Chains A and B, each alone.
Chain A
Amino acid sequence: MATRRFSERTHEIPPKASIRRGPTTDEEVFGEAFNGQVVGRFIKYVAVYRKLLFVAIAAVLVFTVSSITFPLIVKSVYDEALSEGAPDRSRLAMLVIVFLVAVGFNFIANFFQELIVGRVAERILFDMRRAMYLHLQRISLSFMDKTEIGKLMSRLQGDVAALQEFVETAVFAIGDLVLLVGIIGAMVWLDWRLGLMTLAVLPTLLIVRIIWLPFARRAFLRARVTSSIVSGALAENINGVRVVQGMSREYVNYDLFDIRASDNLRAANLASKLGVMMLPIVDTLTGAAMAIVVVMGGFFVLGGTIETGVMVAFVLFVQRFFDPIRSLTMHYNVLQRAMASGERIFEVIDVPVDIKDKPNAIVLEDIDGSIEFENVTFGYFPDQPILKDISFKVKPGETVALVGPTGSGKTSTTALLHRFYDVWEGSVKVGGHDVRDVTLDSLGKQVAMVLQEPFLFSGTIFENIKYAKDDATREGIVEAARAVGAHEFIMKLPDGYETELEQRGGNLSLGQRQLISFARAIVADAKILILDEATASIDSYTEMLIQQALHRLLEGRTGMVIAHRLATIRSADRIIVLQDGRIIETGHHDELMELGGLYAHLYSMNYASFDDIPDELIQRATQAAQESAT
């Protein structure tokens, strides 16, 4: 095993680490053992299965009652059939039959309680995960932008699993409670004096629990937090394994991981210690209760106050009596974890969906593909508008290039067209309809988007091009691939269109991924196309293909291109130059050059992309443009 310690490197100070040791704010959400709000919310998900759960609870009750019956039947056997004076065979036979009937009920109830509880727990688990996932599909991108995927995944997986445990335990805990009450009732009913004496040990248990609880709670939480830190460290290392190996950081990382894993080991160990501590306490009390039954019960029997059967039943009950108490203790940990997890899940579900369909939203169909921005003001943070009072129109079929320095508002403009966000003021119209008046789904079908960094899913190339267009034919897909010039390289791959892509399309070059994403946009067949051109330069061969593909892509569509390539910019029907959230120039390349404004100045600087022009040069160009304007 690769163990090497920092000390061997004679370093006293810790290394610059990418994995933090302490909990993040996210993990500090400490759970209460009982949080009314969480429970209340949770009940809504459970309520869906209320019929099944009623059956389950009925089964739990039958099971519990039949479990309590057994010692009672045994008692009757002793007292009625085996009593010294008058043994009675037929009575014994009858009682054994009653016992068998109880066994039958017990069996059926046991089967159904296990089956229904288990299945309902699984369903609820899957339902909650689905609800969270569905919600993540709807909430605005500004939330998603700020959130780490790994953290969301841990909620979708770990926290949901913790709740599943909770559902299962909760139902059985109800059974335990019923059993407890049942046993207490049965004991008091059999002989109230002996019953109360036996129960005298309960307050002691209660006091011990109250002292024990805060310690245990802290220990269990610590174990959970350290465990989630370990998971995070593992995930990050897996994702960045190439860098780790390329930089030979294995040993340092191993040691860092060891620190975290050891922390977790210690925390888990402490939690175990606290957990098992309850065992001798409960058993001591069981012993005390049994001793009371034997001495007092025995005296009573000797004195003829009670019959032997009652004493036997008591002994059997005392054995059972502490089982539910013990398992309720064990459940405490699960319960607490569930509350923390529930909170984390509802936190996600509670993120408001600020972008949603109006009640009577229109379904966009057969629009002409025109775009209009009317006095649009928008930003991500209050008081920091990115777009300031922007107005422009794009005619159907026209291609408009958005140009401007970084931060000028190009991306925001396209995002508004797709209604990723809502405008502060003014309106954005597609085909003459305000985007807020139409359904998001139909808007998405009319406006396609090609992102700067192409994102491909696992699966075959075919599936990736087809993507959400379920009615696309094989011919249509091949045709789209041909149109963007991807067909040739796809056919060279070992399995052609059926080639499985590695994660994120790792087995394709950036340019090839770009072409696939173009083909995907063609298949989607939208009236309007938003294209965020890649800033990264792509090899000249693919670059040529991409330029040709761009023309194909934009044919017969309205195009809005965040353009970086000068070739793309020049071939656009119209160029809109943005700066600081305002449109400062607009027109065709030649017109703008003639105008001699910012565009002309930037263009003459000969940068491969407008985005990479250093700030000071832009300022100089702006000044120059202003001077030449006056």
Chain B
Amino acid sequence: MYVRITRMALHYRWRLAIGLVAIFFAAGFQLAIPILIGNAVDTANNLFGDADARAKDALVLTAILLFAVSVGRGFSAMVQNYMGESIGQHIGYELRMLYYEKLQRLSFSYHAGVHTGDLITRGILDVEGVRMFVQTALLRSVFLVVLIGTGMYLMLTKDLQLGLISLSFVPFVAWRATVARLRLRSNWYSLQEKLSSLTKVMDENLGGIRVVRAFASQKHEMMKFDGASNEALSLANIQVGIRATNISLMSLAFMLAMAAVLWVGGLRVIDGEMTAGGLTQFLAFMSILLQPVRQIGMMVNGYARGAASGGRLFSVLDLEPDIQDKPGAKDLEITEGVLEFHNVSFGYEGEHTLNGVSFKVQPGHTVGIVGPPGSGKSTIAHLVPRFYDPVDGYITIDGQDLRDIKLESLRRAVGVVEQDTFLFTASVEHNVAYGDPWAPDDRVELASQYAQLGDYIERLPGGYDTMVGERGVSLSGGQRQRLSIARSIMLKPRLIVFDDSTAAIDAATEQRIRAALAELTKDRATIIISHRLSSLMHADEILFIDEGKIVERGTHDELLALGGHYNDLYELQIRPSEDSHPLDDEGGAS
């Protein structure tokens, strides 16, 4: 994980290089300070036996150097920190873009299996986790290694014994850091998971607030919340415990080493083996290390969180969408616009929802598909734009296998109007023009009129600029479906699939939509999937699907004459005591 993140950091070679140079300078300046202070103490003690005036000069010189070194340290610390943050932010940006791009490409089968709350948490919190790791832990740990390493060298060469004593805390701190990092990593991982499920609980509660209210189930909901929340809390508590133990133990080791330096160094000063200034250097050096040692505790946490978050992010980034362009895929070339299913089967784990389905839709023709729920109707709608691939058989448009075509060209050519309409929080205009964002206004209006939504939109307070979606005007089920139809015809698709997309639209309006679309679809292949016979009885061919197989096919009249399933359904849908047919008032437009 760290290797991967570090590799990403290597993209920013210059920043990294400048940052590393700054680190060496910062460490150098940092270490020069105790040496200068030691000198100053010795000078002040007049150990060199200089004349008073020269001692004063020496002190002033040391002071100037000390000041210069401090300024130098400040600037190199600035550069180092800035480079760290900058690389972190760039990596965060890069990860966000990669994640976004990957989510957009991952196929329907992936999205059906994950909760949106979980994906959002990863995109926000986990990206942040990796960014923080790069920003605060990655470069700073190099700084610490350089600082402690150089310091070690200086101290050991100056005085081996005292140097070893000063540094005795290092192995202990290193060992604690490793132990804590591993424990924190698994803890962070579980904590992120728990926070994701807490998000899920809250998101669903707010989404289904009417159900919650209707069943007066606040208590039940609070129990669910408390369950998820307390689990997360206890993990968070464990984390705090690890951190507290860790930080305090590390400081303890450090302070004990300092006490040892004081004792041994003090004895040596008493024995005259060492100057007071020499001892001060060691002590000043150690007091410079105090803050970094405290930071190790935080850095360990950064490492652990970075690994947990990186793991969660990369597990998504490493997924290969199961639907993607083949190498050498070509743009779809439509000559006539004939769609054909060749013996297509589809399903999961041996259970087929479609079984050897073959049919052909000619341009200008309409095929209606009807059948009981779960018979596989919607699967057909999802196969045409290649949201899924068939497990057996193949689908062609003008003889080109869908799997050999570039996805984008295919999906631009195929318009699928789905049953559930997702509205973006944006104006009506932007929602209708979603697939063709540069469309001129008059086309947006025309499409809306075709979908019989134009009049309604014009009556809205802001017309086409009225906001819809979660925060905007709420549209009824039928209005949403009409918007979805308008959105699809904006793309001027060469093939149109209506997947039960008029269920919430009343029969009369539906007929008006069909009449309006007649001109548009006259040279295009159309598939209408519906359970309402009035929606598809005028199709050129009707397929009755049951358990994934076409069991009956023919025109409305042929199927009625057959007296099979279709006929039964027809009988069922005709209102028992009605004398008139719903279509009759609209003059049976087709």
User: What is the CA–CA distance of A542 and B283 in the complex, to the nearest angstrom?
Assistant: 83
Binds B, one of A44-52, A186-194, A207-215, A509-517: A509-517
A206 interface residue per 8 A CB criterion: no
User: What is the CA–CA distance of A141 and B210 in the complex, to the nearest angstrom?
Assistant: 8
Interface string of A138-162 (1 = CB under 8 A from B): 1001001011111111001110000
User: What is the CA–CA distance of A442 and B216 in the complex, to the nearest angstrom?
Assistant: 8
A129 CB → nearest B CB, Å: 7
Which residue of chain B is the closest to A406 with respect to CB atoms? B476
B97 interface residue per 8 A CB criterion: yes
A362 interface residue per 8 A CB criterion: no
**With contact pairs A244-B104, A509-B373 given, residues A291 and B64 touching in the complex (Cβ less than 8 Å):** yes
User: What is the CA–CA distance of A150 and B116 in the complex, to the nearest angstrom?
Assistant: 12
The number of residues on chain B lying at the interface, defined by a beta carbon within 8 Å of a beta carbon of chain A, is 164
- Provide the residues of chain B in CB contact with A13, threshold 8 Å: 438
User: What is the CA–CA distance of A122 and B33 in the complex, to the nearest angstrom?
Assistant: 39
Within 8 A of A (CB), among B23-82: 33, 36-37, 40-41, 43-46, 52, 55-56, 59-60, 62-64, 66-71, 73-75, 77-78, 81-82
Q: Is the CB of B430 within 8 A of A17?
A: yes
Q: Is the CB of A323 within 8 A of B71?
A: no
**With contact pairs A299-B56, A540-B531 given, residues A77 and B96 touching in the complex (Cβ less than 8 Å):** no
B259 interface residue per 8 A CB criterion: yes
Q: Is the CB of A269 within 8 A of B572?
A: no
- Provide the residues of chain A in CB contact with B219, threshold 8 Å: 441, 468
Within 8 A of B (CB), among A271-328: 272-273, 275-277, 279-284, 286-288, 290-292, 294-295, 297-299, 301-302, 308, 311-312, 315-316, 319-320, 323
A65 interface residue per 8 A CB criterion: no
Interface centre among A73, A150, A152, A290 (most CB of B within 10 A): A290
User: What is the CA–CA distance of A485 and B181 in the complex, to the nearest angstrom?
Assistant: 55
- Provide the residues of chain B in CB contact with A153, threshold 8 Å: 199, 202-203, 206
**With contact pairs A82-B270, A246-B411, A291-B67 given, residues A449 and B214 touching in the complex (Cβ less than 8 Å):** yes
User: What is the CA–CA distance of A440 and B214 in the complex, to the nearest angstrom?
Assistant: 10
Q: Is the CB of A148 within 8 A of B470?
A: yes
Within 8 A of B (CB), among A389-444: 406, 418, 420, 440-444
Q: Is the CB of B470 within 8 A of A150?
A: yes
Interface string of A501-544 (1 = CB under 8 A from B): 01110110111100000001000100000100001111111101
A178 interface residue per 8 A CB criterion: no
Q: Is the CB of B233 within 8 A of A280?
A: no
**Which listed residue, B43, B97, B226, B569, touches A298 by the CB 8 Å rule?**
B43
Q: Is the CB of B82 within 8 A of A276?
A: yes
Which residue of chain A is the closest to B206 with respect to CB atoms? A149
Which residue of chain B is the closest to A258 with respect to CB atoms? B97
A367 interface residue per 8 A CB criterion: no
B98 interface residue per 8 A CB criterion: yes
**With contact pairs A122-B240, A258-B97 given, residues A510 and B113 touching in the complex (Cβ less than 8 Å):** no
**With contact pairs A153-B206, A315-B284 given, residues A276 and B478 touching in the complex (Cβ less than 8 Å):** no
Within 8 A of B (CB), among A111-166: 111-112, 114-115, 118-119, 122-123, 126, 129-130, 133-134, 136-138, 141, 144, 146-153, 156-158
Within 8 A of A (CB), among B357-382: 372-374
Q: Is the CB of B424 within 8 A of A236?
A: yes
Interface string of B477-508 (1 = CB under 8 A from A): 11000000001000100000000000111111
**Chain A interface category by residue count:** 35 or more
- Provide the residues of chain B in CB contact with A319, threshold 8 Å: 284, 287-288
Q: Is the CB of A276 within 8 A of B85?
A: yes
B57 CB → nearest A CB, Å: 11
**Which listed residue, A130, A287, A512, touches B66 by the CB 8 Å rule?**
A287
User: What is the CA–CA distance of A1 and B101 in the complex, to the nearest angstrom?
Assistant: 7
**Which listed residue, A11, A236, A291, A448, touches B438 by the CB 8 Å rule?**
A11
User: What is the CA–CA distance of A231 and B120 in the complex, to the nearest angstrom?
Assistant: 8
Q: Is the CB of B373 within 8 A of A542?
A: yes
Within 8 A of B (CB), among A423-480: 440-445, 448-449, 451, 453, 455, 457-458, 467-468, 470
- Provide the residues of chain B in CB contact with A382, threshold 8 Å: none
Q: Is the CB of B506 within 8 A of A612?
A: yes
**Which listed residue, B36, B207, B283, touches A149 by the CB 8 Å rule?**
B207
Q: Is the CB of B578 within 8 A of A249?
A: no
User: What is the CA–CA distance of A525 and B82 in the complex, to the nearest angstrom?
Assistant: 64
Binds A, one of B4-12, B241-249, B393-401, B536-544: B241-249
**Which listed residue, A129, A157, A248, A612, touches B411 by the CB 8 Å rule?**
A248
Q: Is the CB of A535 within 8 A of B215?
A: no
Q: Is the CB of B248 within 8 A of A107?
A: yes
Interface string of A1-17 (1 = CB under 8 A from B): 11000000101010111
A196 interface residue per 8 A CB criterion: no
B352 interface residue per 8 A CB criterion: no
Which residue of chain A is the closest to B207 with respect to CB atoms? A149
User: What is the CA–CA distance of A143 and B419 in the complex, to the nearest angstrom?
Assistant: 29
Q: A126-B232, A455-B210, A455-B211 are in contact. List 16 more A-B contacts (CB 8 A).
A: A92-B263, A100-B256, A115-B241, A119-B237, A153-B202, A157-B195, A234-B123, A237-B100, A240-B422, A268-B85, A280-B77, A286-B74, A295-B60, A297-B44, A510-B419, A540-B569
Would you list the 8 A-B pairs with minimal beta carbon distance, nearest first?
A444-B216, A287-B70, A283-B74, A15-B437, A468-B217, A118-B240, A539-B531, A612-B506
8 contacts between A and B (CB under 8 A): A16-B438, A77-B266, A107-B249, A126-B232, A238-B119, A240-B422, A276-B81, A308-B44
